[in-house]
A = this chain, B = another copy of it.
């Protein structure tokens, strides 16, 4: 099956938003064994949308649209698709009720425009929206399929779960993927290490992906059923593990923070943090994981020197002699934190996130991370390249990776 993805929204053509929906959908569709032929973006304009729909239908069996299902006047996706498919719009009672309830629950007055969202093309399969008001829909006609999803990524993704099941019923094969996640190795080094595997294999296929600071390997097999596909994938995983096992932190496409948080909770380990350059980011990421209150005691974000002294007992003389960004300060921070909290694991971070504040001796990107665990204190120095955002983010990942390594041996 060949697919075209159409993103609808003038804001994309203005360059106001980065279109991450197509990235997500392309990955998902490819993993289902569906070839993505084209991406299109078109503004909130009925004539131009119709043109692109006609063109895409002439090239692909399956069209997925995102966006233009909102309550405002310039949201015209449904009307246009209905016209192209030769269907009327009709009120969908369950969606009507769901939208009414939605507004009741959030205690906000419903606008007449919002009701427009309950109208859908006749004969569609309606896709419930669990995160917003606009329902999506699937419509089949003339051996073509159009699937229309809302634009906000969260709503789109939550709806895609159902779409995935639907698309699986349309395909003869099952495509099954496993995603291994790596930290501490670059994409090209990883690719070089498994190039022979990538070249040899056509089923399963092996592909590498890079995101900020981490790399993933996706192993995809096509087979009659998931069980058979899984069995084809297993030896490939084993071989990659043999070569690069030390860098692998997840066999299930999890975030590093997720892996660490789950382990902390499972092992009932109390943790406390003292953050300077990351400014609360490590705690914010950790607390994005539900259930972490069982493990995280506190994070003391000591952004000023005053706070480092008052909260953690860092000595004034240390700050003067070695500076706030130094191994000495990182160690005193973590010792102070341990004294205050008594947590099983204490972690401190201090560094220069930039863009200002760097010197020749202590450049932007210099970061110290210290961990106190049992009787040991480990302190590591890193030099991270990139802008403020990247330095802070990568520091948080380095911190999680240090915690992960400690937990591994537990």
Contact = CB atoms under 8 A, between A and B. Distances in A.
Interface of A: 7, 10-20, 22-28, 30, 36-43, 48, 51-52, 55, 59, 70-74, 105-108, 111, 113-114, 131, 152, 154, 186-189, 191-192, 198, 207-210, 212, 218, 273, 275, 278-284, 286-288, 290-293, 296-304, 306-307, 310-311, 340-341, 353-356, 383, 385-390, 392
A55 B51 CA distance: 10
Contacts of A105: 385
Contact of A287 (B20, B280, B299): B280
A280 B301 contact: yes
B38 A356 contact: no
B188 A290 contact: no
Contacts of A28: 15
Contacts of A26: 12-15
A387 B356 CA distance: 36
Given A13-B39, A40-B40, A302-B298, A284 B284 contact: yes
Q: Dominant SS at the A interface?
A: mixed
A261 B291 CA distance: 31
Nearest to A308: B298
Nearest to A386: B131
Contacts of A111: 188-189, 192
Contacts of A71: 187-188
B284 A278 contact: yes
Contact of A24 (B15, B286, B389): B15
Contacts of A73: 191, 198
A72 B191 contact: yes
A48 B37 contact: yes
Given A13-B39, A284-B279, A298 B296 contact: no
A14 B24 CA distance: 9
B300 A306 contact: no
Contacts of A284: 278-281, 283-284
A337 to B, nearest CB: 11
A298 B311 contact: yes
